Structure 1
Amino acid sequence: METRCVVFLDEASLPDEKKMILKVLHPYLDECKVAFVAVANKAFDAANANRMVCIYRSLPSEKDQHILAYGCLGLQIDNQQQRVNDRLKKIIDGLCQGYRWLLSTQSILQIYHDRDFIYMLRQLRFELTTTTDEQETRVDGITPLSLLHALEENFNGISKEKFEELIQIFFEAVKKECPDFRLPSQRRNIPTILHQSMKLDSVRRRLYGRYKLIIDESEDESAVRLLAQSGVLDLDQNKTVVFRMSDFPDDVNNELRNVEILSTIKLCMETGKTILMINTGRIHGSLYDVFNQNFSIMATGDNRKIWSKVAIGPKTIDVIVHEDFQCIVHINRNEFKEIPAPFLSRFQKYSLSIQDFYQIRLAKLLIEEQRLMKKVEQKAQSFIEHVGQQYFYGLSSNTLYSCLLELIEKNDEEER
């Protein structure tokens, strides 16, 4: 029987077009000796597009979204043996409508994709309750609080004001179907969300627990230090390993150094440590399957092993992934626009600033101390505006809150 080799290139738009990396494909595409299928989130340039048949996938229809939503929630449409509660049907309709509204909203940064919606639905799947009798199975159970928590974990990464707008979009859409579906007043802060998300059990983590992308609003990696202070990160070397890569020319072109870092990451994956990656964009391509959680699972009896692929140098090797392995990628806000959309969709995204941590610490103070700190903040802001920010060397939007946060920390040390 005749066979042909088929090359499948996933997310083919990720290679840098300016470097013309895909040009090596031209002779293979021209000769047609090898079957080639590529999936990309944007059109190729003319040189590549003219050598292949291009099929454009349209945006999902309302029916497609409903099928997707029911599937992610573990439900079947029009199943006679599984009766979905009428209220739950309306909530699902509202969630699909809210997602469509979000995609068409220009005031919110367009960083969300179908994968974020899918993982939100997977998380909500754990909130469903099932009751069974002799004739049918009934399913219901998405509450306002569970929806809020799912949004906090899967549709974050923007400012508080914009996130509140995003929440309103979803809840207004659901409320249109269920008038009594009210938005809860309580909110979790980012460190709490991160801490709870990283403590998920293995079953939940496999279904909806993505790795984390920290968007640092400061320019000095303050978010890393603050995550350690808040208990989200344990910087004990036996539990967490921090990887930093420099931008010096000798380091940028040092392939040996890249291989050393990837080898250490491989060991962390096998032993179940948490890794924090700072300025590591040069090796992200080697960890494509890891970030994508494209795992192979081998089970023998009670033992289960998870495998993923890591590209080290010119070779791709299979690596065991421990159940407790966690990955946090740190980027600065000014790098955000340069990051490809497929990369963003792999992570739970969180925006962190010194002001966020200051507000968290402020809320834990006594009422009198809170009033005092607010007066200090107001006076300092007034003084800066009166003199002029340009006359303070190195003053940024984070400087004031960094000083106020240090003042609270010193006060805590004195009380001890």
Structure 2
Amino acid sequence: VVLLDEVGLAETSPCNPLKVLHSLLEPSYPATVPTVSVIGISNWRLDNSKSSRALLVQRPQFDLDDLVDTAERLLNKRVMVFQRGALKPLAEAYSNYEKYGQSLPNFHGLRDYYALVKRLSLYEMTPKNIQMALARNFGGTENHVKLCKKYFGNVLKMFNNHKSWLYKQIPIEQLIASNLDDSDARHLMVIGKSDSIVNLLTYQLRMRDLDPVVILGSQFPDDRDDYYYSVLRRIMMCVEAGRPLILTDLEIIYGSLYDLWNQNHIVVGSKENVKYFTRVALGAYSNPML
């Protein structure tokens, strides 16, 4: 059995690598069954030439009950009952924002909602903590004020003695520090138009006695294969050594680090000597990385 995870990413390639699946998804005469079983997992439907040769199973869009049910299972067991009562308004707010409030389509999604619920379960549900959780998990766009007031305003009001919450802009430095000080945080993405962001991140990391490695993407269009592999090898060495990485303008690399961004790790070893591995795509190959 061949399992193709995120096979939809290959669908967008101009080289059309998935065309080799056509002969594998249907038997060749005189065989009556395929020689290889193929399972593909994708965030979107593949084209008809592949879908018509396979059994298509689609997961429907989450409804409100699904969002509430999933959030309940993500909550910390110590969460108080009244906090659980906020899950439905929270799910309604996310659902409305996801459908009607995004200035960039699909910029935020279920991963951000799950991370929001997890963070809220670790702290007291106050308007200040809720706004911080929203800024960290639903930031990156210029409509954060609208997000807090229009879509999550009822949730903020619920934990402010049913009074309107006065929005206060959270400084960028505070958001970055909150992420770096959180051992369970997701990887930090900072969006900006100035190179000063790299200096700001470097300063914040060095304040914590960390020595970051900054890797800048090449602006030359011919820097492809050799450059691609050399940067990936450097990233792997830094991750194995536990050094913080600051990556910028490396769009050709990010897709190869899909499992790393998702923190999809394979745990090996005992409790005293735990090692984490994740997959890194090197061209046609997938290598484990410590």
With structure 1 as the length reference, what TM-score do the two structures score?
0.61
Which of the pair has the greater relative contact order for Cα pairs under 8 Å at 6+ separation? 1
Q: CA deviation at 1:281?
A: 1.8
Find the partner of 2:189 among 196, 213, 220. 213
Distance 1:35 1:168 in 2: 50
What residue number does 1:166 align with? 147
The aligned runs of 1:403-414 (5 Å cut-off) are none
Change (3 A) 1:227 1:126: same
Distance 2:16 2:213 in 1: 35
What residue number does 2:62 align with? 60
Distance 1:49 1:27 in 2: 13
C-alpha offsets along residues 377-396 of structure 1, whole Å, 9 cap, x if unaligned?
xxxxxxxxxxxxxxxxxxxx
- Percent identity between matched residues is 25
C-alpha offsets along residues 251-278 of structure 1, whole Å, 9 cap, x if unaligned?
12xx233222222111111111111112
Give yes or no for contact 1:73–1:125 (8 Å, CA) kept in 2.
yes
What residue number does 1:50 align with? 52
Please state if 1:277 is matched with 2:247: yes
What residue number does 1:195 align with? 177
Q: CA deviation at 1:179?
A: 7.2
For 1:90, the aligned partner's letter is G
What residue number does 1:144 align with? 127
Distance 2:19 2:155 in 1: 48
Change (3 A) 1:315 1:106: closer
Give yes or no for contact 1:90–1:178 (8 Å, CA) kept in 2.
no
Structure with greater strand share of residues: 1
Distance 2:166 2:73 in 1: 27
1:115 alignment partner, SS class: helix
For 2:177, the aligned partner's letter is H
C-alpha offsets along residues 342-399 of structure 1, whole Å, 9 cap, x if unaligned?
xxxxxxxxxxxxxxxxxxxxxxxxxxxxxxxxxxxxxxxxxxxxxxxxxxxxxxxxxx
Give yes or no for contact 1:289–1:310 (8 Å, CA) kept in 2.
yes
Aligned residues: 281
Distance 1:61 1:285 in 2: 29
The aligned runs of 1:340-351 (5 Å cut-off) are none
Q: CA deviation at 1:107?
A: 5.8
What residue number does 2:197 align with? 223
Please state if 1:98 is matched with 2:93: yes
Find the partner of 1:25 among 21, 24, 27. 21
Give yes or no for contact 2:126–2:159 (8 Å, CA) kept in 1.
no
What residue number does 1:117 align with? 113
What residue number does 2:264 align with? 294
Unaligned regions of 5+ residues in structure 1, if any? 76-81, 128-140, 321-416
What residue number does 1:373 align with? none
Give yes or no for contact 2:213–2:246 (8 Å, CA) kept in 1.
yes
Unaligned regions of 5+ residues in structure 2, if any? 28-33
Distance 1:198 1:91 in 2: 28
Q: CA deviation at 1:168?
A: 1.5
Please state if 1:318 is matched with 2:288: yes
Moved over 4 A (4+): 175-179
User: Rg: which structure is higher?
Assistant: 1
Give RMSD over aligned pairs: 2.8
Q: CA deviation at 1:191?
A: 2.2
Please state if 1:71 is matched with 2:41: no
Change (3 A) 1:275 1:23: same
C-alpha offsets along residues 31-84 of structure 1, whole Å, 9 cap, x if unaligned?
222222222222212222222222232211222111111011135xxxxxx995
What residue number does 1:37 align with? 39
Change (3 A) 1:247 1:63: same
What residue number does 1:335 align with? none
With structure 2 as the length reference, what TM-score do the two structures score?
0.85
Distance 1:84 1:234 in 2: 38
Change (3 A) 1:181 1:118: farther
Please state if 1:232 is matched with 2:215: no
Change (3 A) 1:124 1:59: same
For 1:68, the aligned partner's letter is T
